Chain A
Amino acid sequence: MTAGRSPRPPWLLTVLLPLLCAVGCGSPAPHQRVVSVWAMGREGAVIAQLLPEFTKLHPDIEVRIQQLPWTAAHQKLLTAFAGEATPDLCQLGNTWIPEFVALKALEPLDRSLARSTAVQASDYFPGIWDTNIIGGTLYGVPWYIDTRLLFYRRDLLAQAGFAEPPRTWAEWSRMLAAIKALVGPERYGVLLPLNEFDTLLVLSIQQPEPLLRADGRYGNFRSAGFHRALGFYREIFQRQWAPPVDSTQISNVWNELGRGYFSFYISGPWNIGEFTRRLPPQQQDTWMTAPMPGPDGPGASIAGGASLVIFRRSRHKAEAWLLLEFLSSPQTQKRFYQLTGDLPPRRSTWRAPELSGNLYARAFREQLERVKPQPKVPEWERIVTDMRLMAERVVHGDLSVEEGARDLDREVDAVLQKRRWLLDRGRTP
């Protein structure tokens, strides 16, 4: 271009200067001892309250917290990875770990662990610890345990004629039918938001067949077990035991359980805290938790939870590990449990009276005896999302159970195509 030989307006540079600043101002200066932490939802809000202790121990480290909403978290993390803008320390759902390991985004933690006295692998529940190990390498330290079970209205269940929560699908069905008869057409037995995959996943994981086959090369959704799970899931909606809504339409699940809009709700430990806080005192003895019912007896649930991971691109790995150790210490975890209701992954923390004395946590402890891991493939988040979309269509009657399972299997096989290609070439996905 001939632009170089002509009079160049010198003020162009002046105008561009603020831009250069904008470029530089985007990221924190590297020489400071700053640890950036991302955490999701409620944990993101609570972590700030734990920090004063840490700052007392390490006054020279500045911690910057960013709170991500759960619905946007996965995507946000991938964008950050693509844009090389990942934080130092991050809360990561343990089913997402394989994906970020495949991206080579996470720092292996075995060496830090070997040197650490604060984090002791033997103190952690082995099932949960294992979800952080991919190909023999440790990539995360469990922060809290998560699984799904029943929250229910004791009083409404009693009114419907049942003294105990259900242990089998059949018992549960009878209760849902009785409650529906009791509360009428405007109210329901259970809330299963259509934009969440958790319940169907729990029902499927209770089946004997694995969800993927051949080392995660293909889907296994044509199995008899998945058919049974999907069929039961559809029946709950078909009989109008559950309203066909998603969670954006139920703006306040806590109030709605209090009002008896539904009597069962399948959720995780954080809701112990939410219900305790949000329901009025006179309603506190009307709700309780119970383990998941299974096809023919007490059922399994998912071995979920979140881990703390350090990103490979971090320039403050030592500081991030210090913060990780602090957040993993039994004292901090006890306090974290008090603030969130999130269940700690360490046996020593469970011995604290706050936890062993909590009525609502008992069901979780029982459930944790029966948790199953999810397949460790990077595509898992996409697969469960496809499963949810399929289930939504089955609930609305667009697809039969057979068609839904068949379509899902085909889609999952397509999603796993690249994984198969990589595996066949001996590369680790």
Chain B
Amino acid sequence: MSVSGARVLLHALLLGAAAITLFPLLWMLSVSFMAGGEASAFPPPLLPAHGTLANYRQLFGQQNIGRYLTNSLSLAAMTTLLSLLLNSLAGYAFAKLHFRAREPLLRVLLAALVIPSQVAMLPLFLMMKWLGLVNTYAAVVVPAMAGIFGVFLVRQYALTIPDELLEAARIDGASELRIFTSIVLPALRPILVTLGVFTFLGSWNDFMWPLIVLTDQGLYTLPIALATLSREHVQDNELMMAGAVLTVLPVLALFLSLQRYYIRGILMGSVKG
């Protein structure tokens, strides 16, 4: 095959694949602007006959989706901030500070990566009940405040900080806390952005645990609210699409603006073995 022939074929394949991956998302957007019942027709329409914001108005007006949006945002933000703090402290300690039992601890953590989190879920619920935290945000945030993956991600990156830098600061009499805030944190910035994006997306998209532990409707996150709504409003196709758009859009925007950092996280995560 000639080079130009190959190029045409290649781009045809690429465009076809992109059409398949993007179509559901674009269709979701389009249907969210349709009038109630419009999409349940044959043949299925691709574009709204008369674009309308009625679905969004109903979601914010009657379905209280603003509340869920705020819940999701504050939960994800809180989880991200706290886990960045705890994971960076620990990741740095495991990379650069020598303390007793460091190496065996590291091995235990690494081995524990293979345990699926669902194993812990049932007793975790009983524990939350015992602590009186069921149906509070703390039940969602506290267990997510530190994670093995996060600690390792930071550790890998922190290994690249030159020891001389830290030693020099120690000789100058800086406290360990001071060294951490003024030297280590700035050096870790790129990986913290990566971890932050990961944690935020993970927390935003999380489903099973919040589903179990949050019973009060006022505390629902967007995915839980959407799953609940979609069981009640099976027939309201257009309304559900508007809800899906509101759920997906914030994370998609975050990803698009911080794509570089996110992909670095994937690559670092995949070489951990």
Contact = CB atoms under 8 A, between A and B. Distances in A.
7 contacts: A22-B138, A23-B133, A25-B136, A41-B232, A82-B125, A82-B134, A251-B237
Interface residues of A, number: 27
Given A19-B142, A26-B219, A83 B234 contact: no
Interface stretch (B146-154, B166-174, B194-202, B208-216): B208-216
Contacts of A18: 78
A-B pairs, top 4 by smallest CB distance, nearest first, are: A83-B134, A26-B136, A22-B137, A85-B135
Interface residues of B, number: 33
Interface in A72-113: 72, 76, 79-80, 82-85
Nearest to A76: B215
A15 interface: yes
A83 B81 contact: no
A71 B231 contact: yes
Contact of A80 (B125, B215, B231): B215
Interface in B105-146: 125, 128-129, 132-138, 141-142
Contacts of A251: 40, 234-235, 237
Is chain B's binding surface mostly helix, strand, loop or mixed?
Answer: helix
Contacts of A117: none
Which of A18, A22, A80 has the largest number of chain B CB atoms within 10 A? A22
A66 interface: yes
A32 interface: no
A15 B78 CA distance: 9
Contact of A7 (B85, B177, B217, B237): B177
B129 A83 contact: yes
A9 B212 CA distance: 33
A69 B135 contact: no
B133 A248 contact: no
A315 to B, nearest CB: 14
Contacts of A9: 177
Interface of B: 40, 78, 81-82, 85, 125, 128-129, 132-138, 141-142, 175-177, 212-213, 215-219, 228, 231-232, 234-235, 237
Contacts of A358: none
Interface in A50-85: 66-67, 69, 71-72, 76, 79-80, 82-85
A256 to B, nearest CB: 10
A252 interface: yes
A85 B215 contact: yes
A122 interface: no
A17 to B, nearest CB: 11
Contact of A252 (B81, B82, B228, B235): B235
A282 interface: no
A39 to B, nearest CB: 12
Given A7-B177, A26-B216, A19 B78 contact: yes
Given A79-B212, A80-B215, A82-B125, A15 B85 contact: yes
Contacts of A27: 135-136
A102 B214 CA distance: 24
Interface string A316-330: 000000000000000
A69 B136 contact: no
A83 B213 contact: yes
Which of B82, B136, B213, B235 has the largest number of chain A CB atoms within 10 A? B136
Which of A41, A248, A251 has the largest number of chain B CB atoms within 10 A? A251
A22 B85 contact: no
B128 A83 contact: yes
A84 B216 CA distance: 12
Given A251-B40, A251-B235, A252-B235, A23 B136 contact: yes
Contact of B134 (A7, A15, A22, A84): A84
Which of B212, B215, B228, B232 has the largest number of chain A CB atoms within 10 A? B215
Contacts of B217: 66-67
Contact of B231 (A66, A72, A79, A82): A72
Nearest to B178: A7
Interface string A223-252: 000000000000000000000000010011
Given A67-B217, A76-B215, A85-B215, A19 B138 contact: yes
B129 A23 contact: no
Given A22-B78, A248-B234, A252-B235, A83 B215 contact: yes
Contacts of A19: 78, 82, 137-138, 141-142
A408 B273 CA distance: 47
Interface string A143-159: 00000000000000000
A325 B237 CA distance: 39
